[in-house]
């Protein structure tokens, strides 16, 4: 009898429609040459509202940025986000890395409910996140480019090769 009373007390909680969330899957990540990856150290996330593929020129710039970070190109993944969202936790579990540079994406696109500021490094859940403007804007706007590279330089200063 006690069980029935408990259920009726909390019955109002279940009077709302319940929606089943799809179990998210981690996307297939590729390196900057389009080869599928299993263990990247850095993920470039490009939010593309126009659903255009990454141009060859943009890919060349991303490769130069990968070299600039001090990582090998086969340690850097790139993901073009279009209409879908990413699940940061799922990506961390499947690929085991936590370093993200997000061009045009915001924390909500990664399933996060956190405050952020553009071009400010965020340490979150043993990882590093950097949210910046869309890739094309960073390329065109000198102020954005300078802010981005200043923060990214600090983010990867321990990896960059020392000049002799």
Per-residue pLDDT reduced to its tens digit, 2-61: 444 444 455 555 555 555 445 566 788 888 888 888 888 899 998 876 667 778 888 888
| pTM as predicted | 0.77
| Mean pLDDT in residue range 107-135 | 86
Split at pLDDT 50, 70, 90, the class of 84 is confident
Distance CA 154, CA 51 (A): 31
Provide the percentage of residues in the chain whose pLDDT is more than 70: 78
Residue with tokens 């500021």: 117
- Write the CB contacts of 90 (distance below 8 Å, at least 6 apart in sequence): 24, 25, 26
Supply φ then ψ for residue 135, to 5 degrees: -55, -45
CATH number of 29-155: 3.40.50.10220
Flag whether pLDDT at 95 surpasses 90.
no
Which pLDDT score, from 0 to 100, does residue 1 have? 46
Which pLDDT score, from 0 to 100, does residue 102 have? 93
Flag whether pLDDT at 133 surpasses 70.
yes
Which pLDDT score, from 0 to 100, does residue 13 have? 55
84, 5, 68: which is closest to 32 by C-alpha? 68
Q: What are the sequence ranges of the domains in the chain?
A: 29-155
Provide the phi-psi class of 65: left if phi over 0, else alpha when psi is between -120 and 50, else beta. Answer: alpha
| Alpha-carbon distances of 24 from 4, 87, 91, 126, rounded to whole Å | 35, 7, 10, 22
Distance CA 15, CA 4 (A): 16
95, 104, 98, 90: which is closest to 135 by C-alpha? 104
Which pLDDT score, from 0 to 100, does residue 59 have? 86
């Amino acid at each position: 009898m006690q069980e029935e009373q408990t259920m009726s007390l909390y019955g109002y909680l279940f009077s709302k429609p319940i929606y089943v969330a799809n179990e998210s899957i981690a996307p297939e990540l590729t390196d900057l040459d389009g080869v599928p990856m299993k263990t990247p150290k850095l993920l470039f996330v490009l939010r593309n509202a126009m659903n255009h593929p990454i141009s060859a020129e943009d890919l060349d710039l991303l490769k130069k940025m990968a070299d600039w970070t001090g990582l090998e190109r086969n340690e850097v993944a790139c993901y073009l986000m279009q209409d879908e969202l990413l699940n940061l936790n799922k990506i961390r579990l499947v690929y085991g890395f936590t370093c993200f540079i997000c061009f045009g994406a915001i924390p909500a696109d990664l399933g996060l409910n956190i405050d952020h500021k553009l071009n400010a490094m965020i340490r979150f859940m043993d990882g590093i996140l950097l949210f910046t403007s869309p890739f094309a804007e960073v390329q065109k706007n000198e102020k954005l480019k300078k802010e981005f590279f200043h923060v990214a330089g600090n983010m990867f200063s321990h990896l960059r090769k020392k000049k002799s």
